[in-house]
Amino acid sequence: MPSFRYRILVVDDEENLRMMAKAILESQGYEVLCAVDGFDALSVLRRSLPDMIISDLRMPNMNGFEFLSIVRKRFPHIPVIAISGEFSGMGVPSSVLADAFFPKGQYTLEDLFKKIIALLKQGKLRSDAMHLPKAAVWLPVGREVNFLAVTCSHCLRTFSVSTPRPQGTNVANCDFCVTPVSFEVPGEPLGRAAQP
């Protein structure tokens, strides 16, 4: 088994389905995070970004339609599979912002695993093709410090970069997702996010 395990977030309000999905995906070597609805899933995303999301559509509080619209806007590089009993057929319904769709109880695990593998490969290509703007840089104020805080423009997590760094554009690899992040060091410390 490779040392890197893809992380999948499963979002479903039915505990037995959530736990079964977790067990099945873990048996295939994936790391699995779980959430009970869209609000819970957003909380999980704040702590740890997955490589893929598998979400039910009909859930209380924040349903899958609302959750996936936020994911598509904020994390367009994360591939999404929607699973629901509300629609039939294997095509993605027009109202669902997902990369793939499976009707509940009408697909095989083999089909699901093939789709997961294909979307993870496609997600990597889509992510690599995205040209994101420079990252936000947080410059400490006050006594002399030896680091900058940089917010990764890819995974949106903040990591520290040692100084001194030359003024102008710099590049450092994100500590979390290892993406090369371009950031600008302005002429004077501002004590707030330096705008890209």
pLDDT in tens, 67-78: 998 898 888 889
CB atoms within 10 A of CB 169: 11
Rounded average pLDDT over 3-15:
88
| pLDDT at residue 196 in the model | 44
Rounded average pLDDT over 52-80:
90
- List the single range of 6-10, 61-65, 105-109, 125-129 with lowest mean pLDDT: 125-129
C-alpha span between 134 and 86 (Å, rounded): 41
* pLDDT, greater one: 169 or 89: 169
- Asked whether 8 and 22 are in contact (CB, 8 A), the reply is no
Q: In the chain, where does the domain assigned CATH 3.40.50.2300 lie? A: 7-129
C-alpha span between 165 and 163 (Å, rounded): 5
Rounded average pLDDT over 103-116:
90
Q: pTM for this structure?
A: 0.62
Spell out the alpha helix ranges (H) of 60-167. Answer: 64-74, 109-129
Q: What topology is assigned to 7-129 in CATH?
A: Rossmann fold (3.40.50)
Cα 125 from chain centre: 14
Two tokens, residue 150: 């940089």
